[in-house]
A and B are shown apart, each in its own frame.
Chain A
Amino acid sequence: DTEVTQTPKHLVMGMTNKKSLKCEQHMGHRAMYWYKQKAKKPPELMFVYSYEKLSINESVPSRFSPECPNSSLLNLHLHALQPEDSALYLCASSQEDQPALYGYTFGSGTRLTVV
């Protein structure tokens, strides 16, 4: 298995809803990432988990809450989002010990719309 799987592919939620995005990989990668991408912009890093511990939080608002229950799974919990949070949310993984050596594998993303 050489893929990063993200679910759901599309999500529409109200500003008072609570929802979660899920990311899964079975490549034995020990680093996992959440990125946010607005239309016609490059991806922006949100969070990095290394060996199931949060190693980087790029000053993301607390309405986004990441969770890494195990080495294969990464969640992003969403609560009280704003319409400007609508974007494509991408998950990625890499071999943590040498992330720069082997590159990064991205999922196909979750298209989030906040209404």
Chain B
Amino acid sequence: KQEVTQIPAALSVPEGENLVLNCSFTDSAIYNLQWFRQDPGKGLTSLLLIQSSQREQTSGRLNASLDKSSGRSTLYIAASQPGDSATYLCAVSMNRDDKIIFGKGTRLHILP
């Protein structure tokens, strides 16, 4: 059974710092991995999607990497801003069905 773990559960950093969020999964047979952002009480916004054959994806100040063999992904946020404060969720798609499995998320707080 696939399990997705995100560490840390919560993180506070001063504005301007670069930071890394971690995601690990137990079954490496994934189709893709997706990072989402969720603001309190709101829906999910897709940030980056990495296919199983890819190593990384970039969008603006965000860079997501995938090491499928070791079951790890990282989300790198450069030059953090207070507007980046949100919960970041990692989710994997398996090749057996069309479900996605979420981690519990990392609550990020950027201090002005």
Q: How many of A's residues come within 8 Å of B, CB to CB? A: 28
Q: Is the interface of B mostly helix, strand, loop or mixed?
A: strand
Are A56 and B102 in contact, CB atoms less than 8 angstroms apart?
no
Tell me if A81 is interfacial: C-beta within 8 Å of chain B: no
Contact B42 A96 (CB under 8 A): no
B41 & A88 in contact (Cβ 8 Å cutoff): yes
A13→B100 CA distance, assembly (Å): 30
Q: In the bound complex, do residue B104 and residue A103 qualify as a contact, i.e. CB atoms below 8 Å apart?
A: no
Chain A positions within 8 Å of B46 at CB level: 103-106
Please state if A107 and B51 are interface contacts (CB–CB under 8 Å). no
- A-side contacts of B45, CB under 8 Å: 106
Residue B49 at the A interface, CB < 8 A?
yes
Q: Determine, out of A14-22, A41-49, A64-72, the stretch whose residues face the partner at the interface.
A: A41-49
B window 76-112: CB within 8 A of A: 89, 91, 93-95, 97-100, 102-105, 107
Once the chains are docked, how many angstroms separate the CA of A93 from the CA of B46? 12
**Interface size range of chain B in the complex:** 20 to 34
Of the candidates B36, B98, B105, B107, the one whose C-beta lies within 8 Å of that of A100 is B98
The residues of B that contact A106 with a CB separation of less than 8 Å are: 36, 43-46
CA distance in complex: A92, B41 (Å): 16
Q: A96 CA to B98 CA in the complex, in Å?
A: 8
Chosen A-B contacts, 17 in total, with CB atoms closer than 8 Å, are A41-B104, A42-B105, A43-B102, A48-B98, A48-B99, A99-B93, A100-B93, A103-B32, A103-B93, A104-B100, A105-B46, A106-B44, A106-B46, A107-B43, A109-B41, A109-B42, A109-B43
Residue ranges of A at the interface with B (Cβ–Cβ < 8 Å): 6, 31, 40-43, 45, 48, 50, 55-56, 88, 90, 92, 94, 96, 99-109, 111
Which chain B residues have a beta carbon within 8 Å of chain A's beta carbons?
A: 31-32, 34, 36, 41-46, 49, 51, 89, 91, 93-95, 97-100, 102-105, 107
